[in-house]
């Protein structure tokens, strides 16, 4: 009788462990699918927002300017000296 109880106990422990591993596998696979679905959703959302932001009329555009010759610029020497003093370009 003790041998039968021991066999039933070992069988119950084995099936219990098998059940716990099965539940763990289901939960792990659910998290795995949630991760990949979330990654695809985030990528789709970012791509969609980038796609829609391309045709925005409020974005600043480059102004059409005519080229300026160096001789037309006033106070270039003073501005150059201020730039050199500000960024310490003369020091070695």
At 10-42, the pLDDT tens digits run 999 999 999 999 999 999 999 999 999 999 999
**Domain contains 70:** no
Residue at token pair 């730039």:
83
Dihedral pair phi/psi, residue 7, rounded to 5°: -65, -45
Dist CA 18 CA 26 (whole Å): 12
**Domain contains 86:** no
**Domain contains 63:** no
What is the extent of the structural domain holding 14? Answer: 1-55
**Domain contains 24:** yes
Against a cut of 0.85, is the pTM above it?
no
**Domain contains 83:** no
DSSP assignment letter at 67? -
**Domain contains 6:** yes
pLDDT in tens, 76-85: 777 778 878 8
**Domain contains 23:** yes
Dist CA 90 CA 81 (whole Å): 10
pLDDT in tens, 43-69: 999 999 888 876 555 555 566 666 666
Number of domain units in the chain = 1
**Domain contains 76:** no
């Amino acid at each position: 009788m003790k041998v039968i109880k021991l066999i039933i106990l070992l069988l119950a422990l084995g099936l219990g462990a098998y059940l716990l591993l099965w539940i763990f596998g289901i939960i792990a696979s659910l998290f795995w699918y949630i991760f990949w679905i979330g990654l695809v959703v985030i990528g789709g959302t970012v791509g969609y927002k980038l796609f829609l932001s391309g045709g925005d009329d409020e974005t600043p555009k480059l102004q059409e300017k005519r080229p300026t010759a160096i001789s037309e610029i006033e106070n270039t020497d003073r501005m150059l000296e201020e730039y050199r003093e500000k960024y310490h370009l003369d020091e070695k």
